A = this chain, B = another copy of it.
Amino acid sequence: MKVSVFRKAQFNAAHRLHNPKWDDETNRRIFGKCNLPNYHGHNYVLEVKLTGNVDPETGYVMDLGILKKIIDEEVIEPFDHRNLNEDTAEFRDLNPSAENIATVIYHKLRKRIAHEFEVGVRLFETERNFVEINI
């Protein structure tokens, strides 16, 4: 029987939605206030989900302290209190929509977590707008 374990974390970042291939008017029409030039920001809430077997010695799918450390290294340290467009290599040429941020986080975590586990990511941009990746 597979069990999923979840760990929640938060990072506070600035971002702006912008497609450099479009002119300003198209960017403003498609992205609205999210395209304003000087950035805005969010308290991004991240839920990471690991699915696997329960280790009979520990009763754990994975020690959530270890998962917390991986999330801290891959997500919180590089993204927290940063400007995603300006300060991170990942979003230099990738629009930091919630979908793209979640996808980047998914791949960063996936390569740190053993393949016996499935990985899922839910990312809240606000309480009303959020995205999820489950593979």
Using a CB–CB cutoff of 8 Å, the interface residues on chain A facing chain B are: 1-10, 12-15, 17, 19, 21, 30-34, 36, 38-43, 49, 54, 57-61, 63-65, 80-83, 86-87, 94-100, 102-103, 126-135
Secondary structure of the A contact surface, majority rule: mixed
* Complex contacts, A95 vs chain B, CB 8 Å: 58-59
Asked whether B14 lies within 8 Å of A38 as measured between CB atoms, the reply is: yes
Copies assembled: 6
User: Which 6 residue pairs across A and B have the least CB separation, nearest first?
Assistant: A41-B41, A59-B97, A38-B83, A33-B81, A59-B95, A14-B14
Q: Give the distance to chain B from A100, nearest Cβ to Cβ, in Å.
A: 5
In the complex formed, the residue of B with least CB distance to A86 is: B38
A8-B61 contact, Cβ under 8 Å, with A14-B14, A40-B41: no
A81 touches B12 (CB 8 A): no
Shortest CB-to-CB span from A47 to chain B, Å, is: 9
A32 engages B65 (CB within 8 Å): yes
From B1, B10, B30, B133, A103 is in contact (CB under 8 Å) with B1
Whether A99 contacts B59 by the Cβ 8 Å rule is yes
Bound-state CA distance A81–B14 (Å) is: 10
Complex CA distance for A107 and B8, rounded to whole angstroms: 26
A132 touches B4 (CB 8 A): yes
